[in-house]
């Protein structure tokens, strides 16, 4: 789902990007692809799976935030470019510090969707302008992660800028938002057969049930006397006359 909030802003195609932006915001695509690879058949990637080497080309723009309240998240990790946008170390600061106060309520709604409704959010952003603050565009992606408790209380993100940062801090408004609901993982079904041609293994037949008496005790074995076997007569030599 695509939401546009400002006319004349950055154009996005049906998939939320175009060829030119794909080059400028390559870091966002790299982080998204890495997240998809981690997910595989799982529900969501886990925090301990994230390895910086998998996003080596985008580390300056990568961040991780944790949920501290409904609609609120603060930085746990942040690349150098994010610090440059604020002109200071952002660790421990809320993600909303990067945004204009007018759009922080909207950002809170999007953050809550990411962490509670299995949604990926990708944003086109425009920075405020002024003296020493030239035109600056950015693209930001928010990808849910499982924390230590197994809940989606962490977000792996990336923000890639197009333009000069200029005088910090730079704060953004949301030009357009793309929301993608994550499909639930499909449980793998294991098909068993009595004979597996790949391994040449045959399963043993099911054992016969054990008879149990009414009181729950095993039925006592019944011994039946065997019938006497009739003795065979001794062989006699018969001499035939010529």
Q: Can you give the C-alpha Rg of the chain in angstroms?
A: 35
Any long-range contacts for 47-51 (C-beta under 8 Å, 24+ apart)? 47/145, 47/146, 47/147, 47/148, 47/154, 50/145, 50/156
d(CA 156, CA 64): 5
| pLDDT at residue number 192 | 40
| pLDDT at residue number 203 | 38
pTM score, two decimals?
A: 0.70
| pLDDT at residue number 150 | 73
pLDDT over 70 for what percent of the chain? 66
User: Of 111, 129, 105, 126, nearest to 4 (Cα)?
Assistant: 126
d(CA 58, CA 177): 21
Q: Which of residues 220 and 28 earns the better pLDDT score? A: 28
Q: How confident is the model at residue 147 (pLDDT cuts 50, 70, 90)?
A: confident
Q: How confident is the model at residue 240 (pLDDT cuts 50, 70, 90)?
A: low
144 pLDDT above the threshold of 70: yes
- pLDDT tens for 227-239 read 555 555 555 555 5
| pLDDT at residue number 113 | 95
- pLDDT tens for 152-190 read 899 999 999 999 999 999 999 999 999 998 876 655 444
Between the CA of residue 26 and those of 33, 89, 178, what are the distances in Å? 11, 24, 17
For the chain, domain boundaries: 2-6+16-49+58-181
- pLDDT tens for 73-130 read 999 999 999 999 999 999 999 999 999 999 999 999 999 999 998 899 999 999 999 9
Task: Kindly indicate whether the domain formed by 2-6+16-49+58-181 is annotated with CATH number 3.30.70.1050.
Answer: no
């Amino acid at each position: 789902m695509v939401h546009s909030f400002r006319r004349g802003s950055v154009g996005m195609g049906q998939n939320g990007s175009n060829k030119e932006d794909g080059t400028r915001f390559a870091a966002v695509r790299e982080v998204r692809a890495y997240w998809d690879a981690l997910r595989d058949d799982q529900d969501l990637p886990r925090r301990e799976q994230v390895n910086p080497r998998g996003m080596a080309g985008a580390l300056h723009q990568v961040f991780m935030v944790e949920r501290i309240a409904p609609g609120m998240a603060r930085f746990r990790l942040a690349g150098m470019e994010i610090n440059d946008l604020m002109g200071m170390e952002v660790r421990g600061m809320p993600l909303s510090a990067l945004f204009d106060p007018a759009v922080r309520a909207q950002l809170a709604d999007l953050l809550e969707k990411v962490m509670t409704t299995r949604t990926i959010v990708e944003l086109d952003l425009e920075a405020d302008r002024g003296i020493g603050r030239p035109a600056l565009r950015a693209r930001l992606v928010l990808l849910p992660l499982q924390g230590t408790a197994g809940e989606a209380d962490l977000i792996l993100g990336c923000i890639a800028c197009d333009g000069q940062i200029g005088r910090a801090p730079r704060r953004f408004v949301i030009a357009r938002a793309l929301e993608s609901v994550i499909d639930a993982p499909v449980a793998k079904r294991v098909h068993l057969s009595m004979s597996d041609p790949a391994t040449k293994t045959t399963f043993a037949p099911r054992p016969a049930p054990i008879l149990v008496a009414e009181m729950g005790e095993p039925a006592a074995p019944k011994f039946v006397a065997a019938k006497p076997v009739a003795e065979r007569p001794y062989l006699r030599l018969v001499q035939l006359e010529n």
